[in-house]
Amino acid sequence: MLTKKDKELIAAATDAISQRYRNDWQEVGAAMRTRDGRIVTGVNIDAYIGRNAICAEAIAIGRAITETGDHGIESIVAVRHPKPGEPGKIAVVSPCGTCRELIHDYDAKAKVIVPDNGSAPKVVTIGELLPNKYRRGNE
């Protein structure tokens, strides 16, 4: 069950992409709550060469670190804006594999809001989304 704080985070991500949506360029918005209580948002940066694209979650994490330093990730969510003519509305999406790694790297105890098979989104830990995390050496 989503808390008021979870719903506030979804609303912040929805607001971010609603304000910055550009078809084929920016279609995902993210919002994260740092462990010191700030909400930081970001939108994806797309590129003609796909591997140059940067996800909204990475932008939000980068903004948080740039603005006041790394204070950890209490929770994070991404939402996707449908393309023109596409059915549906802005909805919660799961982080991609790269973002799962990034979120885990910056806070192994982060909570992530994800879709739940057509019902209301749910909250899981990043460890649940990335159960066998890559580690260097003896980490």
Which residues belong to the active site?
57
Encoding tokens for residue 55?
């996800």
Tell me the CA distances in angstroms from 91 to 73, 119, 121, one per residue in order. Answer: 21, 11, 9
Q: Give the total residue count for the chain.
A: 139
DSSP lists the bridge partners of residue 43 as: 29
